[in-house]
Each structure stands twice: as structure tokens, then as C-alpha cells.
Amino acid sequence: MSKENIMIIKTCKRQDTADSIQKILTEFGCIIQTRLGLHEAGSVCSDKGLIILQLVDNADETKKLEEALNKLDGITFKSVQL
């Protein structure tokens, strides 16, 4: 039975990190099954946001994704395996 892998990325400097995060997520797009981005919108975009990822069960590629995200300032993330 395959495991469900969920990653939640929190950004505190969304406008500064969005391009870098997008580049990394595109690079690892083959292991992303579902992606949901949340941020407060209105007259001014919020600088905080969440990205929720459902990842395929591939420990090696998930580790590489985590290593790439660790190099970015202004974000935190947590991976959960169910």
C-alpha cells in the first residue's frame, strides 16, 4: 500500500520568494500530484501564504525537494507521511 505524502510550505515573504518557490516546484513537478496555494487577497496581496502539496511516494525525490526548499530564506515547511 502506498503512503500519502503531504507537504505544507509557509511563506512569510511571499512577494520575495514566489519566483524561487515556483522554479523549485516546476523542477519537481513530476512528484507533485496536487498543489493548492492560499494567500489573502484584496486591495493589497498578503505577504504570507501557504502551499499544500500532495506528493507521490518517492522518498529520494522528496528529499531533494526538501533540500532545495531549505536553501530559501523566508519559508518554512513540514512534510507528513500518512
Q: Calculate the CA 20 to chain-centre distance.
A: 11
Report d(CA 6, CA 20) in Å as an integer: 20
C-alpha 25, offset from chain centre: 7
Please identify, in words, the CATH class of the domain defined by 5-81: alpha beta
Grid cell of 28 as nine digits: 519537481
Interval 44-69: pLDDT, tens: 778 889 999 999 999 999 999 999 99
Provide the CA 73 distance to its chain's centre, in angstroms. Answer: 13
Question: By CB neighbour count within 10 A (0-12 exposed, 13-18 middle, 19+ buried), where does 13 fall?
Answer: middle
pTM (global) more than 0.85? yes
Q: Identify the pLDDT of residue 1.
A: 66
